[in-house]
Structure 1
Amino acid sequence: MKINIFYRKKGIDKHSIEKVYNSLIPYFEDYNTSIIELPYKSKGIIKRILNIIYAGVNQSQINHISGDIHYCNLLMCRKKTMLTIHDVYPIIRTSGLKRFLLKLLWFDLPIKKSYQIITISEFSKSEILKKINVSSEKIKVIYNCISPIYLFDKLTFNESKPNILHIGTKENKNLNSLLEAVKGLNINLLLVGLLNDSQIQLLQTYNTSYQNFHNVSDIELYKLYKQCDIVSFVSTYEGFGLPIIEAQAIGRPVITSNLASMPEIAGDGALLVNPLSIKEIKNGILSLINNPELRETLILKGLQNIKRFEAHKIAQQYIKLYKEISNSKK
């Protein structure tokens, strides 16, 4: 069984998808598995057409599009191809002609050209079914796995000035609301991702202590998790929410949203708040700072929760599916 897993071209602060599949590859060692990285970033018509041709030329017995580059399966054999769709946020945040083209080229046509669709949460499956004309039977939920580098690391909580790690600076990551919520609190923010001018302005206006990191490696991100006292992931929309389980694995209390996929992924191991309420975010942060019993309870429940996402368990689900596609006569 020959398996080709297709990755997008490497880019700054874009490696969460690759992180997941890199953790699974060692479990595919009994099979002939290759990583095929597209030669061009998904910008402009010409480069996307070249990516489609490159992917078509490099197709194999089983072709797995790992996400984000859905369109690259358009020249592939349908019965040999599976596509992972992480979320439908791109067509939620756009409108008009751009939305029409995005939906057609990233979702409608690639879904028709795929034997099987994988998505990463029950929430994302429900969103796909709402937005796209596709049969529920064609979509299978396989959760993201957690990287084996994320090991428990006990920390003495910094009660005087806790470090709060927040990953992501795009609109759905809800950083501006977090900045409003921690205004005036004696904390230090560890912010991962490129800050825009308005975010920098808020940090300066509120005189908030912070450090900013971007284009960090997996090891560097792991060190930031170890350094922090609390992980904030109060997004307004996520298809999964990998930082939730990474924080749980290391043993850090997590505050996350009660919307979208986040309750499904966090289980009982995180403090859930309404991300649209600055007051709730602030009260949640204060509860984690001032209540050591709550922190300990969430940490213990988080360590139980991450067992669902162990790489060897997720890999077995993929191997079963690869075999089904390999044996299919459709």
Structure 2
Amino acid sequence: MNIGFDIAFKQSGSKDRGIGRYSQSLIDSIMNLNNEHQYYFFSPNYIRTKMDLKNRIQRFIAHYKIDFFLITSPFDYSVPLEKEWFGDTRVGVIFYDTIPLIYPKVYLPSPVLTKGYQSILDFIACCDIVYAISETTKQDAISYGGINPNIIKVVYGGLDSEFKVIEPNPIAKVAEKYKIAKPYLLYTGGSDFRKNIPRLIEAFSHANNELNNHYELVITGSVSQYTFSMSKMKNLIFTGYVSNEDLVELYNGATLFVFLSLYEGLGLPVLEAMACGTPVLTSNTSSLEEIGRDVAYLVDPYNSDQIARGMVYLLSNPSILDELKKRGLNHVKLFKWDEVGRKVLAEYN
């Protein structure tokens, strides 16, 4: 079988974010499964018009005799795709979330953006197979996107092998590099409004006061809109960008990982933290409740008092943290990229 992968995520802002990492890991997992298939990559760079995109896709399919075309990031195209361009080639698409439809005032503030988003949804609805990254995403695709449930298959996601427990614990190394002076709580995952960073910081401040300021909160990544206004706050560290190697060490060194997003399609950082043996405090909403149920401590992400109480409770009870660590390490065994790749190909076959 000749399989075509779209790699639009490599030419967009998605490259180093969740969608880009998911797409690359999925492609790698499928290619590593066996040598029975031939794999080809479609790059949409320098495409400016719908006709140009249509012609490029059709030439690609004809030249490589593509049997199955997997669209890994449909929203990264400058113009919406149309199913008829693919002819008899079967098309599968990865569906991550319907967050723009859940928060339209934030993500779709104009009729033009709304129309463009709907055009992409229309394409997805016409595909042969839609791979949802969680049960939450599947239900949202049906409820918000109007997609036929019969073509949706839940495949979840996997964890890269680098996310693991490191022995001995690298706490001293990362503490020196990032000037961390106390036991710390860790957040990573972007600065989008739904990531809920101001409420996280507010809750941490209240909790830490109750805990005699024994902890620091370490926030990784590009969060410049918060760095300036909050850089003077005590016990708050903004690391800026960190490499994957450093991120794994930061996970390992953290007392608690905190991820209080208002809405997620999957929530890979939660699983990454668990794989590194770090207890997790996360939201009781969307896919975070789905992947965190019984293995993480769940709180209402809109309630800063409840978040603070959760922090105090966990940090005051080492035995609870240890139990969450054990549960998390066992839970992440379910999330393997080779299994995701097998599911994708099995659904095609």
TM-score normalized by the length of structure 2: 0.81
Cα–Cα, structure 1 residues 55 and 180, in superposed 2: closer, same or farther, change >3 Å? farther
Q: 1:109 aligns with which of 110, 123, 129?
A: 123
In structure 1, distance between residues paired with 2:22 and 2:270 = 15
2:233 corresponds to 1:206 = yes
Q: State whether residues 13 and 193 of structure 1, in contact with CA within 8 Å, keep that contact through their aligned partners in structure 2.
A: no
Structure 1 segments unaligned to the other structure (5+ residues): 324-330
Q: Corresponding residue for 2:191?
A: 169
Q: State whether residues 231 and 252 of structure 1, in contact with CA within 8 Å, keep that contact through their aligned partners in structure 2.
A: yes
Cα–Cα, structure 1 residues 218 and 306, in superposed 2: closer, same or farther, change >3 Å? same
Cα–Cα, structure 1 residues 164 and 56, in superposed 2: closer, same or farther, change >3 Å? same
Cα–Cα, structure 1 residues 271 and 303, in superposed 2: closer, same or farther, change >3 Å? same
2:29 corresponds to 1:21 = no
1:169-318 matched pairs, under 5 angstroms? 169-183=191-205, 185=208, 186=213, 187-197=215-225, 199-204=226-231, 206-214=233-241, 216-318=242-344
Cα–Cα, structure 1 residues 48 and 300, in superposed 2: closer, same or farther, change >3 Å? farther
2:156 corresponds to 1:133 = no
How far off is 1:181 after superposition? 0.9
Structure 2 segments unaligned to the other structure (5+ residues): 173-180
How far off is 1:244 after superposition? 1.1
SS at match of 1:58: helix
Q: Corresponding residue for 1:5?
A: 5
**1:143 maps to amino acid:** Y
Q: State whether residues 129 and 151 of structure 2, in contact with CA within 8 Å, keep that contact through their aligned partners in structure 1.
A: yes
Q: 2:92 aligns with which of 82, 100, 120?
A: 82
Deviations 1:96-117 (A, max 9, x none): 51453133222113322x1111
Structure showing greater radius of gyration is: 2
**1:139 maps to amino acid:** I
1:14-163 matched pairs, under 5 angstroms? 14=17, 15-24=20-29, 25-39=31-45, 46=48, 50-51=52-53, 53-59=55-61, 60-67=66-73, 68-69=75-76, 71-72=80-81, 74=83, 75-77=85-87, 79-93=89-103, 94-112=108-126, 114-153=127-166, 155=169, 160-163=182-185
Deviations 1:38-95 (A, max 9, x none): 325xxxx937775555444323211001123373454223651111110011233225
Q: State whether residues 145 and 314 of structure 1, in contact with CA within 8 Å, keep that contact through their aligned partners in structure 2.
A: yes
**1:18 maps to amino acid:** S
For the aligned residues, what is the CA RMSD?
A: 2.7
Cα–Cα, structure 1 residues 204 and 35, in superposed 2: closer, same or farther, change >3 Å? same
Q: Corresponding residue for 1:327?
A: none
How far off is 1:283 after superposition? 1.6
In structure 2, distance between residues paired with 1:160 and 1:294 = 20
Cα–Cα, structure 1 residues 192 and 56, in superposed 2: closer, same or farther, change >3 Å? farther
Deviations 1:209-239 (A, max 9, x none): 212323x554343333234332111100001
**2:40 maps to amino acid:** S
In structure 2, distance between residues paired with 1:196 and 1:268 = 34
SS at match of 1:100: helix
How far off is 1:312 after superposition? 2.4
Q: Corresponding residue for 2:176?
A: none
In structure 1, distance between residues paired with 2:34 and 2:260 = 34
How far off is 1:252 after superposition? 0.5
Deviations 1:182-206 (A, max 9, x none): 1262333332332243x22442353
**2:39 maps to amino acid:** T
Cα–Cα, structure 1 residues 296 and 19, in superposed 2: closer, same or farther, change >3 Å? farther
> Which has the higher mean CA deviation after the structures are superposed, 52-61 or 270-279?
52-61
Q: State whether residues 179 and 203 of structure 1, in contact with CA within 8 Å, keep that contact through their aligned partners in structure 2.
A: no
Cα–Cα, structure 1 residues 56 and 243, in superposed 2: closer, same or farther, change >3 Å? farther
**2:42 maps to amino acid:** I
Q: State whether residues 91 and 102 of structure 1, in contact with CA within 8 Å, keep that contact through their aligned partners in structure 2.
A: no
In structure 2, distance between residues paired with 1:235 and 1:283 = 17
Q: State, as a whole percentage, how many aligned pairs show the same letter.
A: 22
SS at match of 1:46: coil
SS at match of 1:137: helix
**2:117 maps to amino acid:** K
Q: State whether residues 93 and 131 of structure 2, in contact with CA within 8 Å, keep that contact through their aligned partners in structure 1.
A: yes
